């Protein structure tokens, strides 16, 4: 009897410990289910193999300059889904913005003809007037967010009616009880030189800023996330002055945006693309200050990253170190992934 009396306190202590651990485990699971990852990836010339009769540019076809065939297209598709799966680090990414896609067909093929089909993805894409026929688009998990509205935002140059570029893609989503406003960008390139094309990127920045302001005017607490290949660095005028996106410690006004990709030391890698010897950050994620308030839908502090696993690199014999393992090097097909690295940030829903 004495043994039993001594045994029961220890037994109850054991039960209470198990219940506490079970409660803690359930809390961790709940927290994990309320967090999700958003990413952006310049996928480098993700074309189908068909001739587009509406375009002058058809280099990525079997008879075109790039000798683009179904085998190469399928390998490209496989490489992209592998990268997207790997970037999720164990969980499917909730939303991935992309640029340099040809059309909705390649997005549909990506989410239905690869293992991504298991994760209930849907896509958003609008044809844009880019001369090469490349667009921006996104895929998202319908189990994590519900599409409310979407539209393309055209870039129009008042000084040149013949100007053609990629649209900016806008989409809004319901995430639990919050609305998330998303912009996918691929600003005009530096082809022809940085200075001669600088004005066009400022035009893109001002166009985007105007649209963001139109939402904030109606909804001052709107939660905005801007992603893309901006073809400019975080310190360039288009980002700092046109878009008014600054490092968090430099933000002083309520309307200013926060650029999460200003400090390479916080991003796990020094850049998203390489020019000769130098790595540069052209691909960024920028958010409204409302996403940093730790109430409702919020950015998980310090979660922003450049995704840079070894398989996305090749040896750089000319400029030393590593370079990106691309699909083409000039006209030569090498069968790699892309000429940019993906970027991502994690969000969570914090109950007030």
Q: Tell me the per-residue pLDDT of 296-307, one tens digit each, with 9 for 90 and over.
A: 999 999 999 999
CATH of domain 36-350: 3.60.10.10
Residue 198: how many other CB atoms lie within 10 Å:
16
Residue where the block lists tokens 């809390």: 27
CA–CA gap between residue 344 and residue 333 (Å, rounded): 28
Q: What is the pLDDT of residues 154-198, one digit of tens each?
A: 999 999 999 999 999 999 999 999 999 999 999 999 888 888 899
Decide which of 153 and 352 is more confident: 153
The model's pTM is 0.90
Backbone angles phi, psi at 37, to 5 degrees: -110, 140
Average pLDDT score over the chain: 91
Mean pLDDT, range 203-209, rounded to an integer:
98
What's the pLDDT band for 294 if we cut at 50, 70, 90? Answer: confident
Tokens 């803690």 appear where?
A: 24
Other Cβ atoms within 10 Å of 159 Cβ, number: 8
Helices (H) and strands (E) in the chain, counts: 5, 20
Tell me if 289 sits within 8 A of 338, measured CB to CB: no
Q: Which of 305, 310, 308 minimizes the C-alpha distance to 344?
A: 305
How many C-beta atoms lie closer than 10 Å to residue 51's C-beta? 13
Return the domain boundaries, the chain: 36-350
């Amino acid at each position: 009897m004495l043994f039993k009396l001594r045994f029961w306190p220890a037994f109850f202590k054991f039960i209470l410990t198990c219940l506490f651990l079970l409660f803690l485990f359930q809390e961790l699971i709940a927290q994990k289910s309320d967090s999700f990852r958003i990413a952006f990836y310049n996928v480098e010339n993700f074309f189908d193999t068909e001739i587009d009769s509406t375009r002058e540019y058809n280099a990525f076809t079997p008879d075109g300059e790039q000798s683009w065939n179904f085998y190469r297209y399928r390998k490209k598709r496989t490489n992209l889904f592998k990268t997207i799966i790997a970037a999720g680090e164990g969980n499917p990414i909730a939303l991935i913005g992309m640029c340099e896609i040809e059309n909705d067909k390649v997005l549909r093929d990506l989410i239905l003809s690869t293992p991504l089909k298991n994760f209930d993805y849907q896509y958003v894409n609008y044809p844009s007037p880019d001369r090469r026929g490349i667009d921006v688009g996104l895929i998202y998990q319908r189990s994590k967010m519900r599409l409310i509205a979407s539209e393309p935002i055209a870039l129009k140059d008042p000084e040149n009616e013949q100007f053609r570029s990629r649209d900016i893609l806008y989409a809004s989503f319901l995430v639990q009880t919050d609305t998330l406003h998303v912009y996918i960008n691929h600003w005009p390139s530096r082809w022809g030189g940085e200075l001669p094309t600088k004005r066009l990127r400022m035009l893109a920045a001002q166009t985007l800023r105007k649209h963001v302001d139109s939402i904030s005017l109606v909804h001052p607490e709107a939660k905005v996330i801007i992603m893309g290949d901006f073809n400019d660095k975080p310190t360039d005028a288009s980002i700092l002055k046109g878009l008014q996106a600054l490092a968090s410690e430099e933000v002083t006004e309520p309307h200013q945006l926060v650029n999460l990709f200003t400090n390479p030391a916080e991003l796990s890698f020094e850049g998203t693309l390489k020019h000769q010897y130098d790595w540069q950050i052209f691909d960024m994620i920028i958010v409204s200050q409302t996403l940093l308030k730790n109430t409702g839908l919020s950015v998980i502090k310090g979660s922003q990253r450049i995704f840079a696993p070894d398989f996305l690199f090749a040896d750089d014999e000319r400029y030393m170190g590593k370079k990106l393992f691309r699909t083409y090097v000039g006209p030569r097909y090498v069968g790699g992934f892309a000429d940019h690295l993906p970027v991502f940030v994690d969000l969570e829903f914090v109950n007030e």
